[in-house]
Amino acid sequence: MESEIGVGNVLRIEEKNLTRDTWIRYLGYANEIGESFKRFVSRRSYLASYLTSSGYVVADACYQCQKELERDSGEGSRIRVALQAGDSLIWQSLASVIVPGITINRIVALTSSACKLGRVGKSASAVLPTIVGLASIPLRQRPNRIPPAEMPLKVLLVAGEASGDAIGAHLISALRKQLRCEVRFWGVGGDLMRSNGMDKEIFPMEELSFMGFKEVFSRIPHFLKLKRRVVNVALEGKPDCIVFIDSNGFSGRVARSLKHEYRNLHEPSPPMFQYVAPSIWAWKRPRYRSRRFASLFDGMFLLYPFEEPHWKELGAENTIYVGSPLLDNRALLNVRKDSVAGEQIRKRIRTMYGVGQTEKLVALLPGSRTQEVSSHLGLFFEVLRQTSVSRALLPYASPVRSLIEDYCAKDKSVDVTLVPGGGANMVEAVTACDAAMAVSGTVVLETAALGTPLLSVYSTGGLRALMGRYLAKVRYASIPNILANKEIIPEFLGTACEPNKLSNALRSLFDETGMRLGQTAQLSKVIDNLLQSHPPEYSPAMKAAAHIISCLEQRGLEIKSSSMKEEAKHLDDPRAVLNEEKIDANG
């Protein structure tokens, strides 16, 4: 179907499904009709009704298997599709044959008993149970899944923390640039995603920003409610695709529930993607769990080159290496490329906050989750007191704003200047500082890229520290150290987070001829290797967006757009770069 709707519009092409969109689908109700007429037909006819509905379920599974193989003919696709078909066959047998058959059987029997108790006439007693049985058959009319009309593209996004919020904001920009059409974004996100065009929020992103065994376990009922809310919104809103960003535990449970719900509705689920895959390279994790997680998604976007071999080893063929989010952070890259601009930022920020140009200044980066801030902020303050550093800058994300402000209002022993927002504000604050203390995570890589010497810290309880040592597969926790395969950034993890150890390490970072010089030189090489493996204007979000659009087209979505889609295939083209000023300015 090709109608001239014009540039930048979306056509949904109606593709008839032989077993679900034609009269053939009514064969699936044969056993329910057989149960209703059981008293009027022979036993052979009764059994034939069950054979007919069972045959329909088998035929439907085979047909869907064939269609899936036509869409996906890659390596290992036959085994993957066969497993999915077997799973579908089991569920469809239960949902379309066994459970409805038993239900109609009991309804007819109960109606017959009610007729006897109510002393209903003989002729009515013979016919009424059959009528009630037939009336109970849920003959739902299936609407056309994709009506051939001009409609906005609908994308559901689910991010669970500040780093995911930044990735989501870049992805929104990339999709808008490549689609050039009306797109609606909604879901779960933060300030950056909202300012970049996410229309509606299911619930605040902070609701998912919890970690640790005790915290998560105590909130299981709450997380189950959040999961159900996302599932219900997806079923009601009928998105064209769903993108989960980080928060793998929550993402996997929502995706699994959605697959189950769509299977019960006899409808295909929309394409689902996971941006930031589980760190199977870092933690001991049962192989079957990782394989099962990967099978839930049409694509998983990986951040680092060393991740892909681990997933390939498990047989996951749906992984796409897109690259580190650093490549989308234009504010950070501009400072890194231009040392003069970095020095200007340093002078301007210090002047703005009344800090002398030679005065020691430390950046405090206590994390974006409530538990992280609670565990590390007091520790950071104590380290500053022991090192006699009088000034610090603390850039923070909105989810932990009130917690940080309350703590700083109570503890006046250190002169800490709060810097609201992430993005460009965080980049400028860290650039202006002589050293940093950062909670292990994305911010460590960002700080290293800016050339600011730092310590990587992660304070946990004894049980978590013990389990971490047992389950960890890598020697280091920080990405720069993992990339270098040696400890460039000093790491203080678990019980090693003692103020005196941290204060000694922080003092050494101020020594221009010691650890400071060695760390900055080595980190510069590591970051250069990471960034220079891509063309100068490469954008991970653009590559992810291009893959999402290709998957939508394979599902029957025709997108008429300008030449941007072709340009996105050549990601070294400057025109394919995101306009990051908007994201960074809103940071």
Q: Find the CATH number of the domain harbouring 470.
A: 3.40.50.2000
Domain for residue 49, yes or no?
yes
Contact call for residues 92 and 60 (beta carbons, < 8 A): yes
Q: Do 559 and 512 lie in a common domain?
A: no
Pairing assessment for the beta strands 10-12 and 557-559 based on DSSP bridges? antiparallel
Torsion of CA 142, 146, 147, 148, to 10 degrees: -150
Domain for residue 143, yes or no?
no
Domain boundary among 497, 515, 532: 532
Q: Do 229 and 290 lie in a common domain?
A: yes
Q: Do 94 and 203 lie in a common domain?
A: no
Domain for residue 206, yes or no?
yes
- For residues 95 and 194, what is the distance between their CA atoms, to the nearest angstrom? 40
- For residues 54 and 135, what is the distance between their CA atoms, to the nearest angstrom? 22
> For residue 517, how many other CB atoms are within 10 A of its CB?
12
pLDDT of residue 527: 92
Q: Do 59 and 36 lie in a common domain?
A: yes
φ and ψ at residue 60, rounded to 5 degrees: -65, -45
Q: Do 469 and 565 lie in a common domain?
A: no
Q: Which domain holds residue 241?
A: 153-323+539-585
**How many structural domains does the chain have?**
3
- For residues 546 and 291, what is the distance between their CA atoms, to the nearest angstrom? 25
Q: Do 506 and 573 lie in a common domain?
A: no
Domain for residue 158, yes or no?
yes
DSSP run (H or E) holding 273: strand 272-275
Distances 277 to 52, 206, 441, 445 between C-alpha atoms, Å? 43, 20, 15, 17
Q: Do 170 and 27 lie in a common domain?
A: no
Domain for residue 558, yes or no?
yes
C-alpha Rg value of the chain to the nearest Å: 29
Contact call for residues 502 and 379 (beta carbons, < 8 A): yes
- For residues 366 and 373, what is the distance between their CA atoms, to the nearest angstrom? 5
- For residues 391 and 388, what is the distance between their CA atoms, to the nearest angstrom? 9
Contact call for residues 440 and 491 (beta carbons, < 8 A): yes
pLDDT of residue 578: 36
424 Cβ contact list (under 8 Å, min separation 6): 331, 584, 585, 587
Q: Do 223 and 100 lie in a common domain?
A: no
Hey, what are 307's tokens?
A: 């991740």
- For residues 142 and 14, what is the distance between their CA atoms, to the nearest angstrom? 13
Q: Do 495 and 566 lie in a common domain?
A: no
Q: Do 176 and 306 lie in a common domain?
A: yes
Q: What is the SS3 assignment for 11?
A: strand
581 Cβ contact list (under 8 Å, min separation 6): 330
Give the pLDDT means over successive 10-residue stretches in the chain (587 positions): 38 57 81 88 90 88 75 60 76 83 89 84 82 74 40 90 91 91 90 90 82 64 90 93 93 94 90 93 76 93 92 90 91 82 93 93 90 90 91 87 89 89 86 94 92 92 61 83 93 89 92 81 92 85 94 77 48 38 38
Domain for residue 142, yes or no?
no
Domain boundary among 135, 161, 180: 135
pLDDT of residue 169: 94
Domain boundary among 532, 548, 574: 532
Hey, what are 185's tokens?
A: 């974004």
- For residues 431 and 428, what is the distance between their CA atoms, to the nearest angstrom? 5
Q: Do 514 and 556 lie in a common domain?
A: no
Domain for residue 399, yes or no?
yes
- In the chain, the N- to C-terminal Cα span, in Å, equals 43
- For residues 359 and 400, what is the distance between their CA atoms, to the nearest angstrom? 28
Domain for residue 1, yes or no?
no
Q: Do 250 and 365 lie in a common domain?
A: no
Q: If we measure between CA atoms, which residue out of 316, 282, 320, 318 comes closest to residue 302?
A: 320
Contact call for residues 241 and 271 (beta carbons, < 8 A): yes
φ and ψ at residue 394, rounded to 5 degrees: -130, 90
Q: If we measure between CA atoms, which residue out of 230, 270, 279, 272 comes closest to residue 250?
A: 230
**Angle between helix 515-532 and 442-449 (nearest 10):** 100
41 Cβ contact list (under 8 Å, min separation 6): 34
Contact call for residues 451 and 336 (beta carbons, < 8 A): yes
